Structure 1
């Protein structure tokens, strides 16, 4: 998906599931490869799954 976003010269990629889940983590290995592709190509990533789950009206984890 990231390679296609780069090929299409996107500025923003909107996804359902994000790369990070709750805890702060060091970005290394495969995660570094993924994140660095976006950074090097100036592509922002917006993931809406976790914010929507926590929403008091439309979420299902409240």
Structure 2
């Protein structure tokens, strides 16, 4: 994946997260959990995109 696509995706995710945090009224605890989940997902996606984290298709949950 080209670097410019990564940067554009990070900008879009950041703007969407900012919009949700700014304009959607919800409890502070829910916003914090949402922020943490999105940041962890983006970090895992970046690690996978750079090849540091192996293919996510091999992960199995529960069985």
Same fold, judged at TM 0.5 (above) = no
- Return the TM-score normalized by structure 2: 0.31
Structure number with greater Rg is: 2
- Larger helix share, 1 or 2: 2
RCO comparison, higher one (Cα < 8 Å, 6+): 1
With the length of structure 1 as denominator, give the TM-score of the two structures.
0.31
